Amino acid sequence: MIWDPSVVRRSPQLAVLDLLVQVTETAVIALCAAHPALEHVPSSDQIPLERLADQVVENALATVDALDRYRLLLRELERLDEETFAEDEPLF
């Protein structure tokens, strides 16, 4: 991942959140690879370790969803802020 320095300066939290999303998605892929039954076996039939891995995956996906919504809201607020400044009357 390569970040645009101007974006990082303007919204440093977005860069960190992008990294967190990538790491979380990678962890989900790794857990699914380590426990292939997660995709095919109902949680009631899983061994305890697989049930726990399933819970971690569910929580990770919920976290990614929340982070995506947060990032979208921040970008929308930035866009609205830019529009507000663009519509302001000149000071002089």
pLDDT at position 90: 59
Q: What is the pTM of this model?
A: 0.72
Angle CA(58)–CA(59)–CA(63) in degrees, nearest 5?
Answer: 120
Domain layout of the chain by residue ranges:
22-82
Structure tokens at 9: 């300066």
| Encoded tokens for 86 | 């663009």
More confident residue, 62 or 82: 62
Q: Give Cβ neighbours of residue 41 (< 8 Å, ≥ 6 apart).
A: 50
Q: Tell me what the mean pLDDT of segment 14-19 comes to.
A: 84
> For residue 23, which amino acid is it?
V
What pLDDT, in 10s, does the model give residues 17-54?
888 999 999 999 999 999 988 888 776 788 889 989 99
End-to-end CA distance of the chain: 43
